[in-house]
Amino acid sequence: MFNLKVILFLALHLLPEVKSSMVNLNNNGYEGIVIAINPSVPEDEKLIQNIKEMVTEASTYLFNATKRRVYFRNVSILIPTTWKSQSEYLMPKQESYDQADVIVADPYPKYGDDPYTLQYGQCGEKGQYIHFTPSFLLTNNSSIYGPRGRVFVHEWAHLRWGVFDEYNVDRPFYFSRKNTIEATRCSTPITGMNVVFNECKGGSCITRPCRRDSQTGLYEEKCTFIPDKSQTARDSIMFMQNLDSVVEFCTAKTHNTEAPNLQNKMCNHRSTWDVISESPDFQNAAPMTGTNLSPHPTFSLLKSKQRVVCLVLDKSGSMSTKDGLGLSRLIRMNQAAEMYLIQIIEKGSMIGMVTFESNATIQNNLIKLTDDSAYLNITAKLPQNAGGGTSICSGLREGFQVITKSNQSTTGSEIVLLTDGEDSTISSCFEQAKQSGAIIHTIAVGPSAAKELETLSDMTGGHRFYAYKDINGLIDAFSRISSRSGSIAQQPLQLESKALNISRNEWVNGTVPVDSTIGNDTFFVVTWTIKRPKIILQDPRGKIYENSDFQEDKLNIWSARLRIPGIAETGSWTYSLQNKNVNSQLLTVTMTTRARSPTTLPVIATAHMSQNTANYSSPMIVYARVSQGFLPVLGANVTAIIESEDGNQVTLELWDNGVGADTVKNDGIYSRYFTDYHGNGRYSLKVHAQARKNTARLSLRQLNKALYIPGYVENGKIIANPLRPEVKEDVAEAKVADFSRVTSGGSFTVLGAPPNGNHTPVFPPGKISDLEAKFKGDHIQLSWTASGNVLDKGKAGGYIVRISKRFLDLQEDFHNATLVNTSSLIPKEAGSRENFEFKPESFKIENGTHVYIAIQTINEANLTSEVSNIAQATKFILPQQSSAPALCSKIPSLSVALFGFAMILSLF
């Protein structure tokens, strides 16, 4: 029997990650890898064959690169439901598109085929998925990226081990400590030429030597490093895996700590191999003995048939508990379940329903949702009365019966389990749940819901939710349980989710933008606690919908729904609600929609916490991703609402500024530390992303990717690859129409927190990661983004600035470096831009002098941050010669005389 301690151990030690990847390492072999093909990709057997060849090649390369430690043992390829069925295709179990490790899909728009990994965690943390385009897999790109198997290993290192690239397209060159200009790379023995391409035809190009930029002293913007085809360097895979000689990751001995790349920034100048070898995978993976090659991976082809879902709903006595605003949990559950059945779950799905208390009752066997009558058949069976005890396992077992009675397999089917009750026997059906192969989504209602619920969702790959004081919490949770197939047209989008407490005869107004990518299957729903309000809804053209247009439910669950005919008008929809009751009452407003067409890619927001379970002494990170297709959406206003088990709510503005919890600026990932723990137990996350007044735009930049190689040097000549496809200016600068999206980020659990938010200070200020320095005359000017008093919140107490002429003094012994007087420096609010100027009195500044600077932040509790990135200021003037010779194949860097001119440089 599982007891609570066992459950908490599982939560803390076995299931810490939010993304439910099924990958595990067993006796040196990776198992459970899922590669999913997007439903929009045309059927092509060659695509499957090339995926198999890529993984097979990658397995051998990975085995050797990790010194005989790991390889790929088995891989599942998820075939789209849009492809024809084949006898060799098996049914998926818990494998799904939305939890795949690798996604094969066309880019949006057609901006290129660079393989990349969606990765936005900290150093050593796993990524989200690898993205390959069909074109990359079907076209021979080996001259540009290298063999596909090598590319896969490059991306696997991002995904599995949380390492970063060792090049930098924004900072392709830097000044070394030896006063030489170096290409940003690892390792430095990789040789090549630095040139500017003037004209390329076929495989030959006219080039010229790179000139120096008069402002920075580095090479001009168009200067490109072209590697020699023939190399002796064996590393690094995270720079150029395409080079034949490169078969290893950079080690501590070969790692270039100077290069201004993301690996040095994120991992504190540690080598990729150092980070990889400390991953959990390698703690129990000793090198395989002998000289045999690793076994070839095996492949399974999986294809879903149709979506099968069974609702398992609690109707025990505790569900009659009222929320303090007049409605019972049972009614709130029915409101959310009705919305799920009518608005969220996609047509063509099969759905059944079970209710339970001390015993369970099948209310509906599986019904295929084809028309309104099918929805009505199920909603009519929603429970109207609550009573009895709580037997969660009885509900689950009957849920499995509903599925098998209709000749469907529980494998790959979904259970939506909602309960507010405790059940000491819940662990008795854990093994059956696991063996069923079903995906179990759990929704915990109120503070007394069984603490073991999350184990069910974690072990089966389902979502986990918690709802209590947030009246719309149940609706938000059901809205998140959408199709897992990857089909855009099937994804419901929540535009509004708001609760409004309104006095007698008071009016409230709101506006919801409907952008041009959405509008199909649009619903506007109002719920109340006492009496139906007056409702006025106006579309962008002025058409008005009133109470008579709204359909009131027949189940006495206090809700009214309007389905917008056809495609909803693009523009701002406004609503007005008036409370017609003699007393105040709570009204809620929900608006959902879908993509305008199957080929239209809407803006989508997703959210999650960095962990499912956290200790009080460890900060959590809130992540929200806003994207259109695979492209990041920048400039959105993103807000997180986090609610604790006692109903305390914290609102956080999330940032995409590249500092603090946010890894990279302007990548469409909005992040923030969360430290406002308010007691132990469950917490829920809800995120609202919106754009107003045309402030949002798309970005074509994808980070953490295989580098596009423009050509190679062979026998002193440059053999050019095809030029990168140019992106049209209107696409590169594409604006995003005003939008609004609401999404649930699920639930997480906190342990060890003091009650009522009575915090002893445990969190220091956040680390500064964007310090820049430059000389201005004899003074050094610094600039950076302010960290907070507690990580990225509030105002810090002060800054400690230290300088040295030696980089290692700051990196290895910061506290003994020369201290700068900062008495005049008063910290600003976290997220603000800080500027500070000082004269390095203790140093003699001469032509060519390098000065290194780093900062620590200190807070009111005398806690200090980690040492910042180390910035470099160099005094120099340009030589009279206006250009510099290109690098020959045996000279990897260029010595440069540095004299009294100001240079900006920020070393990661």
Residue with tokens 């008036």: 578
Distance CA 880, CA 472 (A): 69
Looking at 17, 57, 88, 155, which residue is catalytic? 155
| Kind of pairing between the strands at 585-595 and 102-104 | unpaired
DSSP-assigned states of every residue in 675-729: ----SSEEEEEEEEEEE-TT--EE-----SBPPPP-EEEETTEEEEPPPPPPPPH
Helix count (H) and strand count (E) of the chain? 17, 50
Residue with tokens 């803390």: 12
45 as an active site residue: the answer is no
SS3 (DSSP) at 43: coil
Can you say how many angstroms the Cα of residue 385 is from the centroid of all Cα atoms in its chain?
41
Distance CA 304, CA 324 (A): 44
Q: Residue 187: is the preceding peptide bond cis (ω within 30°)?
A: yes
What are the tokens at 533? Answer: 């309000």
Distance CA 341, CA 849 (A): 70
What are the tokens at 882? Answer: 């206006």
Distance CA 867, CA 853 (A): 10
Q: Return the closest-CA partner of residue 497 out of 473, 468, 530.
A: 473
Distance CA 796, CA 134 (A): 49
Distance CA 840, CA 906 (A): 18
| Kind of pairing between the strands at 308-314 and 350-356 | parallel
Q: Are 853 and 905 contacting, i.e. CB atoms less than 8 angstroms apart? A: no
What are the tokens at 822? Answer: 């900062």
Q: Where are the beta strands (DSSP E) in 202-288?
A: 204-209, 224-227
Can you say how many angstroms the Cα of residue 478 is from the centroid of all Cα atoms in its chain?
21
| Angle between helical axes of 45-65 and 148-161 (0-180°, round to 10) | 70
| Angle between helical axes of 473-480 and 329-339 (0-180°, round to 10) | 30
What count of Cα atoms within 13 Å lies in the side-chain half-sphere of residue 648? 13
Q: Are 198 and 886 contacting, i.e. CB atoms less than 8 angstroms apart? A: no
| Kind of pairing between the strands at 173-175 and 129-132 | unpaired
Compute φ and ψ for 84, nearest 5 degrees: -65, 150
Distance CA 737, CA 715 (A): 52
Distance CA 177, CA 800 (A): 24
DSSP-assigned states of every residue in 70-122: -EE-EEEEEE-TTSPP-TTPBPPSS--GGG-SEEE---SSS-----EEE--S-
DSSP assigned state of 490: G
Distance CA 484, CA 443 (A): 18
Give the residue numbers annotated as catalytic, written as ranges.
155
